[in-house]
């Protein structure tokens, strides 16, 4: 009977794993089977480097959206990574237990807030502030970067804190025994030992930032042009797909699917790059 239960559960776990793999394979097949022929039909250079997105004129250049996605993601990393890592260090090594019991649920609550709520927050709080400070309409790269930086904080804080807490206590105690202060022991001994987990936190943050859609649509300006400054309006690849997929047909629809293929390739390249960096760090 015990052997039957073990084999039964093993079969369930195997079927669940196979289902997950099959789902990913089907998604990839659908995207690439529709996207790659479209890129070839439009022309890889014209599609990837073209600066005009005018579906009614059969112009499908996504270069402005690529640049917009890169700018917004880079800005979110500049805002979110330092704040997230320092917050994780504070929670793991400096935070009093009473304060931790309040801060930790607050950080976890941030992860449960819907994207549309973040978008409304950016629209009614961040945009007016930047309008006053910069003298613009408030929507653009810097606004989207700040909002995305806030949105990726729960991911970075949670993973980085877990990595810091996983470092053996003997590392910290050894640094103290050699005469280092508490702060020096944490930043020169514990953090380097947790660099693998911290890098994983950054990778997940990048994935969240580059794939975000609804909040970005509300504060980025949605202009399909190459941005001239940090205050310029931009349209990301995800926003372009969401804004136009509802009414797109024929080549226009296929071009949006091809845009999803490019986005998928970007995320894959980013993950592979971080994986190579992680191996070299070891």
Distances from the Cα of 223 to the Cα of 55, 217, 237, 266, angstroms: 15, 10, 12, 21
| Distance between CA atoms of residues 243 and 248, nearest Å | 10
Domain boundaries, the chain: 53-281
pLDDT(184) > 80: yes
CATH superfamily to which 53-281 belongs = MetI-like (1.10.3720.10)
Q: Taking all residues of the chain, what is their mean pLDDT, rounded to a whole number?
A: 86
pLDDT, tens only, 128-166:
898 888 878 888 889 999 999 999 999 999 999 999 999
Confidence class for position 282, pLDDT limits 50, 70, 90: low
Contacts of 116 (CB under 8 A, 6+ apart): 214, 215, 218
Q: Distance from first CA to last CA of the chain, Å, rounded?
A: 46
Contacts of 131 (CB under 8 A, 6+ apart): 137, 138
pLDDT, tens only, 81-101:
999 999 999 999 998 888 998
* Section 181-195 average pLDDT: 88
pLDDT value at position 24? 84
pLDDT value at position 55? 85
pLDDT value at position 10? 86
Write the burial class of residue 15 (CB in 10 Å: 0-12 exposed, 13-18 middle, 19+ buried).
exposed
2-42 and 250-281 helices, crossing angle to 10°: 120
pLDDT value at position 219? 87
Q: Which pTM value belongs to this model? A: 0.84
Among the listed ranges 2-16, 93-107, 174-188, which one has the minimum average pLDDT value? 2-16
pLDDT value at position 157? 93
pLDDT value at position 77? 92
Confidence class for position 199, pLDDT limits 50, 70, 90: confident
pLDDT value at position 269? 83
Confidence class for position 264, pLDDT limits 50, 70, 90: confident
| Distance between CA atoms of residues 69 and 71, nearest Å | 6
Confidence class for position 1, pLDDT limits 50, 70, 90: low
pLDDT, tens only, 17-67:
899 899 988 888 888 888 888 888 888 888 888 888 888 888 888 899 999
Write the burial class of residue 118 (CB in 10 Å: 0-12 exposed, 13-18 middle, 19+ buried).
buried
pLDDT(186) > 70: yes
């Amino acid at each position: 009977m015990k052997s039957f239960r073990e084999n039964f559960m093993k079969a369930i776990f195997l079927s669940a794993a196979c289902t997950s793999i099959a789902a990913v394979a089907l998604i990839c097949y659908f995207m690439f089977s529709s996207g790659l022929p479209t890129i070839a039909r439009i022309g890889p250079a014209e599609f990837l480097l073209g600066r005009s997105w005018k579906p009614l004129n059969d112009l499908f250049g996504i270069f402005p959206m690529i640049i917009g996605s890169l700018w917004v993601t880079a800005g979110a990393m500049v805002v979110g990574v330092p704040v997230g890592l320092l917050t994780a260090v504070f929670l793991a090594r400096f935070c009093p237990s009473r304060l931790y019991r309040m801060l930790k649920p607050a950080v976890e609550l941030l992860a449960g807030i819907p994207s549309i709520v973040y978008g409304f927050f950016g629209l009614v709080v961040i945009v007016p502030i930047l309008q006053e400070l910069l003298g613009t309409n408030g929507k653009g790269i810097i606004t989207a970067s700040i909002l995305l930086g806030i949105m990726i904080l729960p991911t970075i804080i949670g993973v980085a804190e877990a990595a810091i807490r996983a470092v053996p206590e003997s590392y910290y105690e050894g640094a103290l025994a050699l005469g280092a202060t508490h702060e020096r022991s944490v930043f020169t001994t514990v953090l380097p030992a947790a660099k693998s987990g911290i890098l994983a936190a950054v990778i997940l943050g990048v994935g969240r930032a580059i794939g975000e859609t609804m909040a970005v649509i509300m504060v980025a300006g949605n202009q399909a042009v190459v941005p001239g400054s940090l205050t310029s309006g931009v349209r990301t690849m995800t926003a372009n797909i969401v804004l136009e997929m509802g009414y797109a047909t024929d080549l226009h629809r296929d071009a949006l699917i091809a845009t999803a293929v490019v986005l998928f390739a970007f995320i894959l390249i980013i993950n592979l790059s971080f994986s190579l960096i992680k191996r070299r760090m070891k």
